[in-house]
Amino acid sequence: MLDLLITHATLPDGRTGMSIAVQDGRIAEVTEGLAAPAHETIDAQGLLVAPHFVDPHFHMDATLSYGLPRVNQSGTLLEGIALWGELKPLLTADALIERALAYCDWAVAKGLLAVRTHVDTSDPSLLAVDALLEVKRQVAPYLDLQLVAFPQDGVLRSPGGVDNIERALDRGVDVVGGIPHFERTMADGAASVKLLCEMAAARGKLVDMHCDESDDPLSRHIETLAFEAQRLGLQGRVTGSHCTSMHSMDNYYVSKLLPLIAQSGVAVIANPLINITLQGRHDTYPKRRGMTRVPELMAAGVNVAFGHDCVMDPWYGMGSGDMLEVAHMGLHVAQMTSQAGIRQCFEAVTTNAARVMHLEGYGLAAGCDASFVLLQARDPVEAIRLRATRLKVFRKGKLLAETPAATASLHLAGRDGATSWMTPQRHG
Ligand code: FE2
């Protein structure tokens, strides 16, 4: 007797009428039209079942702090950084944990069951590090939280920066972070990349750096990051986050850079909501979009994922933990409106992001964890279009969250009814 059987599911790869058999928290079988006894059977009625969403780039130490101690009046990156500096001395572990746990509730409800969060290591007390390690422990039964040691103020620029990262890693932080474009000089930025990659190699850690988060076409730390990944044998273990300067780089230089990134096995994370909001702010018109070159990176064979980056914090007052909103914005900013492009945007918040995080047991195949989402949509295109309701969220075979279907009751002259904004089924 199976624990759970999903029938009549559509999968992200387009297969329809599929059954997903679940036993002991894992997927036992994915096959067409299976009818087997199960403790619980759910008829998906042709709707999409997808592996859970993954956010590979977030700042959980700042989330839901919007308005503390004041609102970002200009809405710019620089005022956001200044505001975070004002907030940091006021942070308490209890309040930080409470906000992070509240965000994790939002995430689970949206089918987002794995998050890589950067945690600021600039404060030598490592208060935020300890708080998020505690959050990681508390949410472990329902959400995979991966921590990145992130020197927001610059690892070389601030005294004790290197030591703070070392101590954060000693305490159990998973990934080495960095912010080379925020160091004092280009040379210091490159030195920080080398130093941090060597630290990761020596400790067997992954790397994920905020890299070239500016509109400066000459900010080229991604080149150093790719070179160091290759030199140290870290292929597949290094990620460059944001890489917005690539938007503004010279095309000839990019034609040389893309193969280097691909050969070095460095993944790239774009953060569409934040990049389109914060970049190009020194421009008049035309204004640059500022997001990295997503389709070109993908075409070069680079693993590209999308992150949420911020939700209701000093940098960004919007957001609700909805990775479909992230994919929706990514699709628009990158003009990825081809059928293949839309599906790639869906993969950027699911499978590609899972690869960045090295998640084990991820996917919709026999042997994978039974961690998936039933969406009120018939395929990934519709899921993004509607930022579809997550009807049911499962992790390792357990139901974690349910949301009623989005439906409006209509009261129209002579033809009362209902609509859910889903694509009308075409007959004949
Ligand atoms: Fe970030």
pTM over 0.85: yes
pLDDT score, position 65: 95
Fold of 4-46+363-409: Urease, subunit C; domain 1 (2.30.40)
* Residue 347 burial (CB count, 10 A): 20
pLDDT score, position 414: 85
The 10s digit of each residue's pLDDT in 403-427 is 999 999 999 988 888 999 998 877 7
Ligand 1 centre distance from Cα of residue 58 (Å): 6
Ligand 1 centre distance from Cα of residue 26 (Å): 33
Q: What is d(CA 112, CA 77) in angstroms, rounded to the nearest whole number?
A: 26
Ligand 1 centre distance from Cα of residue 330 (Å): 16
Intrachain domains 4-46+363-409 and 53-357 with the same fold: no
The 10s digit of each residue's pLDDT in 220-269 is 999 999 999 999 999 999 999 999 999 999 999 999 999 999 999 999 99
Ligand 1 centre distance from Cα of residue 59 (Å): 6
CB within 8 Å of 73: residues ≥ 6 apart: 79
53-357: in CATH 3.40.50.720 = no
213 counts as catalytic: yes
The 10s digit of each residue's pLDDT in 144-187 is 999 999 999 999 999 999 999 999 999 999 999 999 999 999 99
Contact 314, 84 (CB under 8 A): yes
The 10s digit of each residue's pLDDT in 218-229 is 999 999 999 999
Average pLDDT across the chain, whole number:
96
Ligand 1 is an ion; its neighbours by CB within 5 Å are 309
Ligand 1 centre distance from Cα of residue 147 (Å): 13
Extract the tokens encoding 168: 């954060």
Domain ranges of the chain: 4-46+363-409, 53-357
Q: What is d(CA 389, CA 57) in angstroms, rounded to the nearest whole number?
A: 23
Q: Which is catalytic among the residues 213, 228, 347, 382?
A: 213
Beta bridge pairs of residue 29: 21
Ligand 1 centre distance from Cα of residue 210 (Å): 6
Assign residue 322 a region: left if phi > 0, alpha if psi is -120 to 50, beta otherwise?
beta
The 10s digit of each residue's pLDDT in 55-96 is 999 999 999 999 999 999 998 888 988 899 899 899 999 999
Q: What is the DSSP letter of 244?
A: G
Ligand 1 centre distance from Cα of residue 166 (Å): 20
pLDDT score, position 428: 60
Ligand 1 centre distance from Cα of residue 268 (Å): 12
- Picking from 10-19, 34-43, 80-89, which range would have the lowest pLDDT averaged per residue? 80-89
